[in-house]
Amino acid sequence: MAGNDQQADLPILIIGGGCNGLILAHALNRNGIRGRDWGIGLHWATALLESLIGEERWKHIDQAMVDPYMKPAPVEYMPILNGKTGELLAKKPVEDLRRVLRSRLRTFAAEELPDLRLGKKLERISYAEDGKSVTAHFADGTSETGRLLIGADGSQSRVRRELVGLERAAVKRLPLVATFITASFPADYAVSLRKIADNALVSLWPHPDNMCGALTLMDGIDKDHPENWRYTSYVAWQSSPEEQAAEVAAGMSIRDRLRQAKEKSKAFSNPIRRCFELLPDDHQEVYWFGLSNWDPSLPEHKWDNHNGLVTLVGDAAHPMTFHRGQGLSHGLVDLFNLVKLLTNPEGRSQAELIDAYEAEMRPRAGEEVQLSETNSIMLHDGPRITESPMVKRGLSYGSGSTEKPNSTVQVV
């Protein structure tokens, strides 16, 4: 990077210890720049992750998978079924699919990092008068100064709030909610659940009465004891932001949320209905939330990167709805492009590098934020289910109008 030698000696600060933050830290470290659980799908961006973490680490990627013993096939087929009747609507091919467990991927990415500090809460960001450094100030009174600060701190990003202000940083609330449950089941039933999606490990169940369900294997590490496998299922439905706010204000408990979800699940065919029926009323692994997003391509969401001193990646830059499973893949594109720029500056200043990164990221990620929102709305709108991007395109990149980014990645 062209610039002052003193600036080059400063570290890169990565705010956020989720998957993107830790993978980015690992990739930068490997290139000489130090620096609630759920399953996630790796698919069209799998080669990018392999490139970011390196050949030696990639040999052990099975440590992060929901089933470490399963050998991925070149193509798996994800079933989409009618949530009311169980009729098969489509089987969508997914290339290079790997289901990873978020906690395992975080642990995997954190290994061998030399300077990982947990438990820090960002309070504010300040910039040196000479424009050559940025400082993160934490709630415990400590601070760290670096040549670049990267916000990888998730959908409710504090870094994003610092860059655009509280109001503009707020996510867009969508008229959809979901209640997820995680549970184990009797051995015979657990085995039968796994057969529904085979090695794709996830099935989607849009319901003609404006709802949607899903079932996925979250953890199959205890391969000889199916009764210990852990599954995640959810039911989702239409609910206005006002209705959501009223329920939150009413203080609905976990038990209330489970009761509500069980009632919704009665309209579904098995196995969605049965998975909820089998849960005791005091089951604790119940997670309700409203769907939301934030589009970085909107003019009002453009931030000042302070001449390349600060930027955003992953969910901090473009949180999106989950039905098409695109969040991690787009986060990996962010990381790949950013690492490539920072490690191959070709005489450009840091400001030029960060501007280049953001210029590519905004329209690419913005398109998927919009497409994923459209898809989620359509999956919960009975007459439009079969026209949704998920049913039409599955987990494929984008809308089909643009080429997949970095489609010829050379793994190094």
Pairing of strands 310-312, 148-151: parallel
Given this model, what pLDDT does residue 3 score?
44
Structure tokens at 243: 């209705």
Given this model, what pLDDT does residue 386 score?
95
User: Domain tally for the chain?
Assistant: 1
> Per residue in 27-68, pLDDT tens?
665 665 444 678 888 898 888 988 888 888 889 889 999 999
CATH number at 123 reads 3.50.50.60
Q: What is the pLDDT along the chain (412 residues), one digit of tens a residue?
A: 444 444 556 777 878 765 555 555 556 656 654 446 788 888 988 889 888 888 888 898 899 999 999 888 899 999 999 999 999 999 999 988 889 998 888 888 877 766 777 788 999 999 999 999 999 999 999 999 999 999 999 999 999 999 999 999 999 999 999 999 999 999 999 999 999 998 899 999 999 999 999 999 999 999 999 999 999 999 999 999 999 999 999 999 999 999 999 999 999 999 999 999 999 999 999 999 999 999 999 999 999 999 999 999 999 999 999 999 999 999 999 999 999 999 999 999 999 999 999 999 999 999 999 999 999 999 999 999 999 999 999 998 877 767 677 543 333 2
Residue 271 lies in a domain: no
Residue 236 lies in a domain: no
Distance CA 67, CA 48 (A): 21
Q: Which domain holds residue 48?
A: 5-72+97-171+294-379
Closest residue by Cα to residue 45 from 412, 404, 410: 404
Residue 369 lies in a domain: yes
Given this model, what pLDDT does residue 412 score?
29
> Per residue in 67-83, pLDDT tens?
999 888 899 999 999 99
Sheet (strand 172-183) strand order:
88-95, 75-81, 202-207, 211-219, 230-238, 172-183, 286-293
Residue 344 lies in a domain: yes
Residue 412 lies in a domain: no
Residue 204 lies in a domain: no
> Per residue in 126-157, pLDDT tens?
999 999 999 999 999 999 999 999 999 999 99
Residue 394 lies in a domain: no
Residue 328 lies in a domain: yes
Whether the full predicted model's pTM is greater than 0.85, yes or no, is yes
Given this model, what pLDDT does residue 2 score?
43
> Per residue in 239-252, pLDDT tens?
999 999 999 999 99
